[in-house]
């Protein structure tokens, strides 16, 4: 039995290139006059997807048209349906086409130059990228199984060198790095000048050592067993002498003795390239390999439309499959949206249920917290200042909610814009969502709610679904740093309960702050450390991925001290000598008065970071009755 043939010329595209592509279809059976052929780009309409062409034959660039066996051109009708985010293109054959004859669909330009005025390919790599052609020989629009064209989308010309390295190491401790060779869109590529060598170096490298790297076919190189023989701050340097460009790793802080490691990841984030609901396996690989995350929590919304049961089962299976200590730690999570705001809920074990806000057993957070202890799940309040989705912290549960999402791609909930929020929740029109002070994190801290800070990433699902194609202002995806003893589920969750975390807007800066030698997330009191009544000695450090514009020490919700180093790294040493009774905040409950501090960092490139707070409680002064001396007789 003869079969139809579908193939593409050229069969390869590089990410983001402009060109003209020809989709050739040789039919195995005759197609009568009036046959309808519907071409589907298989695009979600995002900016990174294949450019949607025009069906207007008067245009000279980015066109779609069909060439019939007799050489005549045919323009399609553009069909837009509610289900599809991009139009389909429908051709109606004006004549019969015999079996064995070929027709071709073109994407690009009709000019002699196939690149000038051509269509832009998608911006991410994809092996055997499909395009569908549906055929209805009766001409009624009743389409069945498609004919599939494929082409390979490969990485474009080398644009950037990126180093994946640990943030914290110990002197003489061996560690590995990965060097990624990327195009301008972040894809791995080997598309570099022939014979190109890259020089790797770092400060204090011995002169007799020379590292030269070639560009491999895989687009990356793993380099094991590096170490630093002296404590200090390092940045690995990659020099491309051909392009006269230098690239640097994120900072690496080397300590004399063993210290707690820093692990990077997110508990709330979607990929701009891969839908975690449609293809969770590819998404997990993307976050692990392309984003170099060391932990990740799934975060689909709990509604039936977003996460049907079969999708949830698949997510459960893949999360369990991908979890690997010392490489990539995964958590089974989902977003719960109700009258108390939005929570990112993380199950601490595999194959647990999806708790839906419409079910009577899980329609309130207090019901969920009764069903599951803090050893079973944690909940992260997120997007707390978004109008309509406010979390006002009136029912704050510190056992189940040890950390709060201070930032994600749609804005920061630290404080209002008037109070100094540089990335507020806002839109450029009245149609979007604005900030609501009732969800201010600083206000919650001032009311003695105690939690650490984490950051979320991009999201285009659930309550965020309409933001992507609206006037809502979008920022860079955030990332969370967790200071844990090991890269394992238990160790990372233990760090969350200790509030040993900090949040950034995506830059892997190194932040640290201590009061009386106690780290971020700590709770101190003047009974155990009486000297805190008179002076709080604050130390810390910042190592940025860019020069640091400003470091703010926040005390009780207000700026206490500011540094403007304009250098990549800075050490902090500061004394707060105001009597603690004068500055302490009154707790709204029966707990003692308190003071809290945290650090906010702003880099010159606009990236920001926030450390979790440190709290100091005032011990009630002891009341003593003076001893009366006996009278002398």
CA 618 to chain centre: 39
269 part of a folded domain: no
Residue listed under structure tokens 């049961």: 309
Specify whether the CB–CB gap between 440 and 487 falls below 8 A.
Answer: no
Q: Are residues 139 and 26 in the same domain?
A: yes
Q: Are residues 140 and 184 in the same domain?
A: no
pLDDT tens digits, residue range 496-549? 999 999 999 999 999 999 999 999 999 999 999 999 999 999 999 999 999 999
The pLDDT score that the predictor gives to residue 46 is 83
589 exposure class (CB count in 10 Å sphere: 0-12, 13-18, 19+): exposed
Q: Are residues 553 and 485 in the same domain?
A: no
Mean pLDDT of 344-371: 95
Confidence check: pLDDT of 42 > 60: yes
Q: Are residues 150 and 170 in the same domain?
A: no
Which residue among 154, 186, 216 closes a domain?
154
426 part of a folded domain: yes
Mean pLDDT of 598-612: 99
Tokens of 264: 């990077």
Q: Are residues 177 and 139 in the same domain?
A: no
Which residue among 506, 531, 548 closes a domain?
506
The pLDDT score that the predictor gives to residue 225 is 92
**Poorest-pLDDT segment among 111-115, 152-156, 548-552:** 111-115
Q: Are residues 392 and 475 in the same domain?
A: yes
- With a pLDDT cut of 90, the percent of the chain lying above it is 85
79 exposure class (CB count in 10 Å sphere: 0-12, 13-18, 19+): middle
Question: At 206, is the pLDDT very low, low, confident or very high (cuts 50, 70, 90)?
Answer: low
The pLDDT score that the predictor gives to residue 415 is 98
Q: Are residues 461 and 575 in the same domain?
A: no
**For the domain that residue 89 is a member of, what is the CATH number?**
2.60.40
602 part of a folded domain: yes
In DSSP terms, 600 is beta-bridged to 552, 610
Q: Which of 378, 388, 311 is nearest to 344 (CA)?
A: 378
Confidence check: pLDDT of 51 > 90: yes
The pLDDT score that the predictor gives to residue 116 is 77
Question: At 85, is the pLDDT very low, low, confident or very high (cuts 50, 70, 90)?
Answer: confident
Please tell me whether residue 321 adopts helix, strand or coil conformation: helix
Mean pLDDT of 609-613: 99
- With a pLDDT cut of 70, the percent of the chain lying above it is 96
Q: Which of 345, 458, 465 is nearest to 410 (CA)?
A: 458
Confidence check: pLDDT of 114 > 80: no
Q: Which of 267, 270, 300 is nearest to 458 (CA)?
A: 270
The pLDDT score that the predictor gives to residue 631 is 54
Confidence check: pLDDT of 632 > 60: no
The pLDDT score that the predictor gives to residue 204 is 64
In DSSP terms, 38 is beta-bridged to 90, 134
Q: Which of 161, 164, 159, 163 is nearest to 191 (CA)?
A: 159
**For the domain that residue 455 is a member of, what is the CATH number?**
3.20.20.140
Please tell me whether residue 168 adopts helix, strand or coil conformation: strand
Residue 95 CB neighbours (<10 A): 14
Residue 94 CB neighbours (<10 A): 12
Mean pLDDT of 29-39: 95
Confidence check: pLDDT of 622 > 50: no
116 part of a folded domain: yes
**For the domain that residue 632 is a member of, what is the CATH number?**
2.60.40.10
The pLDDT score that the predictor gives to residue 209 is 61
According to DSSP, residue 75 is labeled P
Q: Is 412 left (phi over 0), alpha (psi -120 to 50) or beta?
A: beta
Q: Are residues 395 and 371 in the same domain?
A: yes
**Poorest-pLDDT segment among 206-220, 466-480, 570-584:** 206-220
Q: Which of 68-72, 168-172, 255-259, 479-483 has the highest mean predicted lDDT (pLDDT)?
A: 479-483
**Containing domain of residue 55, as a range?**
5-154
Q: Which residues of 599-623 are buried (b: 16+ CB within 10 A; e: fewer)?
A: bbbbbeeebbbbbbbbbbbbeeeee
Tokens of 461: 């699902």
Confidence check: pLDDT of 623 > 60: no
Question: At 35, is the pLDDT very low, low, confident or very high (cuts 50, 70, 90)?
Answer: very high
Q: Are residues 444 and 533 in the same domain?
A: no
Question: At 620, is the pLDDT very low, low, confident or very high (cuts 50, 70, 90)?
Answer: low
CA 589 to chain centre: 37
399 part of a folded domain: yes
Rounded mean pLDDT of the chain? 93
460 part of a folded domain: yes
266 part of a folded domain: no
Which residue among 472, 506, 540 closes a domain?
506
Q: Are residues 379 and 344 in the same domain?
A: yes
Confidence check: pLDDT of 275 > 90: no
Maximal CA-CA distance, the chain: 134
Number of domains comprising the chain: 4
In DSSP terms, 135 is beta-bridged to 37
384 part of a folded domain: yes
Rounded distance, CA 416 to CA 438, Å?
Answer: 10
Rounded distance, CA 129 to CA 374, Å?
Answer: 44
Task: Give ∠ CA 348-351-354 in degrees, rounded to 5.
Answer: 85
Polymer length in residues for the chain:
633
Q: Are residues 436 and 307 in the same domain?
A: yes
**For the domain that residue 233 is a member of, what is the CATH number?**
2.60.40.1930
Tokens of 273: 């390239």
Confidence check: pLDDT of 625 > 60: no
Q: Which of 411, 261, 254, 400 is nearest to 325 (CA)?
A: 261
Which residues, including other chains, have CB under 8 Å from residue 632's CB and lie 6 or more apart?
none
Please tell me whether residue 580 adopts helix, strand or coil conformation: helix
Q: Are residues 311 and 460 in the same domain?
A: yes
| pTM for the model | 0.91
Residue listed under structure tokens 């020099």: 239
The pLDDT score that the predictor gives to residue 220 is 96
């Amino acid at each position: 039995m003869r079969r139809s043939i579908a193939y593409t010329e050229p069969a390869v595209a590089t990410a983001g290139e402009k060109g003209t592509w020809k989709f050739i279809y040789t039919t195995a059976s005759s197609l009568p006059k009036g046959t309808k052929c519907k071409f589907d780009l298989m695009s979600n309409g995002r900016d990174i997807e294949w450019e949607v062409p025009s069906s207007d034959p008067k245009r000279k660039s980015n066109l779609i048209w069909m060439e019939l066996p007799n050489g005549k051109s045919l323009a399609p009708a553009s069909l837009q349906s509610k289900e599809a985010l991009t139009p389909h293109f429908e051709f109606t054959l004006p004549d019969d086409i015999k079996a064995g004859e070929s027709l071709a669909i073109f994407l690009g330009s009709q000019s002699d130059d196939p690149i000038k005025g051509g269509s832009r390919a998608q911006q991410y790599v994809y092996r055997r990228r499909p395009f569908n052609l549906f055929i209805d020989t009766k001409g009624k629009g009743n389409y069945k199984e498609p004919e599939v064209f494929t082409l390979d989308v490969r990485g474009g010309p080398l644009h950037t060198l990126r180093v994946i390295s640990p943030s914290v190491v110990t002197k003489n401790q061996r560690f590995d790095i990965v060097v990624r060779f990327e195009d301008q869109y972040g894809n791995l590529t080997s598309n570099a000048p022939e014979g190109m060598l890259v020089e790797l170096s770092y400060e204090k490298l011995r002169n007799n050592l020379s590292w030269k790297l070639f560009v491999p076919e895989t687009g990356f190189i793993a380099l094991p067993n590096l170490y630093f023989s002296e404590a200090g701050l390092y940045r690995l340097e990659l020099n491309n002498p051909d392009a006269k460009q230098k690239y640097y790793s994120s900072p690496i802080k080397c300590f004399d003795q063993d210290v707690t490691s820093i692990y990077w990841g997110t508990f709330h984030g979607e990929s701009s390239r891969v839908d975690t609901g449609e293809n969770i396996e590819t998404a997990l690989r993307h976050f692990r390999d392309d984003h170099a995350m060391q932990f990740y929590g799934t975060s689909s919304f709990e509604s039936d439309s977003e996460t049907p049961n079969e999708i949830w089962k698949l997510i459960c299976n893949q999360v369990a499959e991908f979890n690997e200590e010392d490489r990539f730690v995964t958590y089974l999570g989902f977003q719960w949206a109700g009258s108390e705001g939005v929570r990112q809920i993380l199950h601490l074990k595999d194959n647990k249920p999806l708790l839906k806000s419409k079910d009577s057993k899980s329609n309130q957070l207090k019901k969920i917290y009764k069903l599951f202890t803090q050893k079973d799940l944690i909940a992260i309040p997120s997007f707390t200042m978004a109008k309509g989705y406010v979390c006002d912290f009136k029912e704050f549960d510190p056992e189940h909610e040890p950390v709060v999402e201070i930032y994600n791609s749609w804005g920061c909930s630290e404080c209002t814009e008037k109070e100094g929020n540089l990335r507020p929740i806002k839109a450029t029109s009245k149609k979007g969502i604005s900030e609501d002070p009732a969800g201010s994190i600083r206000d919650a801290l001032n009311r003695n709610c105690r939690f650490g800070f984490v950051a979320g990433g991009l999201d285009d699902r659930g309550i965020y679904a309409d933001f992507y194609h609206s006037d809502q202002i979008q920022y860079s995806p955030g990332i969370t740093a967790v200071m844990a003893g090991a890269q394992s589920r238990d160790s990372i969750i233990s760090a969350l309960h200790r509030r040993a975390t900090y949040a950034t807007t995506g830059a892997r800066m190194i932040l640290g702050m201590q009061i009386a030698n106690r780290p971020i997330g700590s709770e101190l009191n003047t009974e155990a450390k009486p000297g805190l009544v008179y002076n709080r000695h604050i130390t810390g450090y910042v190592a940025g991925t860019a020069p640091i514009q400003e470091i703010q020490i926040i005390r009780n919700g207000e700026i206490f001290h500011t540094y403007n180093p304009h250098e990549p790294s800075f050490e902090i040493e500061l004394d707060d000598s105001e009597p603690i009774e004068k500055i302490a905040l009154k707790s709204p409950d029966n707990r003692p008065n308190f003071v809290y501090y945290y650090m906010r960092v702003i880099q010159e490139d606009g990236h920001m970071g926030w450390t979790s707070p440190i709290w100091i409680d005032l011990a009630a002064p002891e009341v003593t009755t003076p001893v009366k001396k006996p009278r002398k007789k």
